[in-house]
């Protein structure tokens, strides 16, 4: 089945220690998104890629970076995680920007 895969499902890191979250897709979609979802809150868009074109949301902290080496993979890098970065990180894909977004299962990040 075509799907959006996120690894790992659970990630524990230390305060200030860089961490990378991974997302891959078999849908061959053009657009890949990263959302941050804190407890009992709505998902908040951090940035998205349309093909290789990177689009950052205005209020996304510089601490968050992303890479998309090819169509299938997209990475979220948190350079110096703080306690406030503990959250569920959701990856989503869509065929085009106006098309339905399909979500992965998420990675829950804990910062110690």
Partner 1 sequence: AQSVTQLGSHVSVSEGALVLLRCNYSSSVPPYLFWYVQYPNQGLQLLLKYTTGATLVKGINGFEAEFKKSETSFHLTKPSAHMSDAAEYFCAVSYSGGYQKVTFGTGTKLQVIP
Does 39 sit near partner 1 (CB under 8 A)?
A: no
Closest CA to 75 of 63, 66, 84: 66
Question: Which of 13-21, 61-69, 74-82, 86-94 is the region at the interface with partner 1 (rule: CB under 8 A)?
Answer: 86-94
Does 108 sit near partner 1 (CB under 8 A)?
A: yes
CA 35 to chain centre: 5
Within 13 Å, how many C-alpha atoms sit on residue 16's CB side?
A: 0
Binding site residues, partner 1, CB under 8 A: 4, 6, 9, 40-43, 45, 48, 57, 88, 90, 92, 97-98, 100-106, 108
């Amino acid at each position: 089945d075509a799907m959006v895969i996120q690894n790992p499902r659970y990630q524990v890191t230390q305060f200030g220690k860089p961490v990378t979250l991974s997302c891959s897709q078999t849908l061959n979609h053009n657009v890949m998104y990263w959302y941050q979802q804190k407890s009992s809150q709505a998902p908040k868009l951090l940035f998205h890629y349309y093909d290789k074109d990177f689009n950052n949301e205005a209020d996304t902290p510089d601490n968050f970076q992303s890479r998309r080496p090819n169509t299938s993979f997209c990475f979220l890098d948190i350079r110096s995680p703080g306690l406030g970065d503990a959250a569920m990180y959701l990856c989503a894909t869509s065929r085009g920007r106006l098309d339905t977004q399909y979500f992965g299962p998420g990675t829950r990040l804990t910062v110690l």
